[in-house]
Amino acid sequence: MFTIKRLIYYYYEKKLKREVLKKKVPLHVGIILDGNRRYAEAKGYSSISYGHKAGAGKIDEVILWCIEFKIKVVTIWGFSTDNFNRGKDEVVSLFDIIRAKLEYYINSDFINKNKIKVSIIGKKSLLPEELKSVIKRLEDKTRTYSNLHLYIALGYGGRQEICDAFSKFIADNLYKIINVSNITNGTVPGTFSLNNPSVDLSHLSELVTVDTISKYLYTSDAADPDLIIRTSGEVRLSGFLLWQSAYSEYYFCDAFWPEFRKIDFLRAIRSYQSRQIRLGK
Cβ burial of 11 (10 Å; 0-12, 13-18, 19+) is: exposed
100-117 tens-digit pLDDT: 999 999 999 999 999 999
Look at residue 193 in the predicted model and tell me its pLDDT: 54
DSSP H/E element including 238: none
Q: Is the pTM of this model over 0.75?
A: yes
User: How many Cβ atoms are within 10 Å of 82's Cβ, its own excluded?
Assistant: 11
Look at residue 175 in the predicted model and tell me its pLDDT: 75
**Which residues are catalytically annotated?**
34, 83
117-157 tens-digit pLDDT: 999 999 999 999 999 999 999 999 999 999 999 999 999 99
Share the mean pLDDT of the chain. 91
pLDDT at 184 over 70: no
Look at residue 176 in the predicted model and tell me its pLDDT: 72
CA distance 131 to 99: 5
DSSP H/E element including 30: strand 28-32
Give residue 2's pLDDT band: very low, low, confident or very high (50, 70, 90).
low
What are the chain's domains? 24-157+223-274 (3.40.1180.10)
pLDDT at 73 over 60: yes
Please tell me what DSSP assigns to residue 47.
S
Q: Hey, which residues does 156 pair with through a beta bridge?
A: 80
Look at residue 5 in the predicted model and tell me its pLDDT: 85
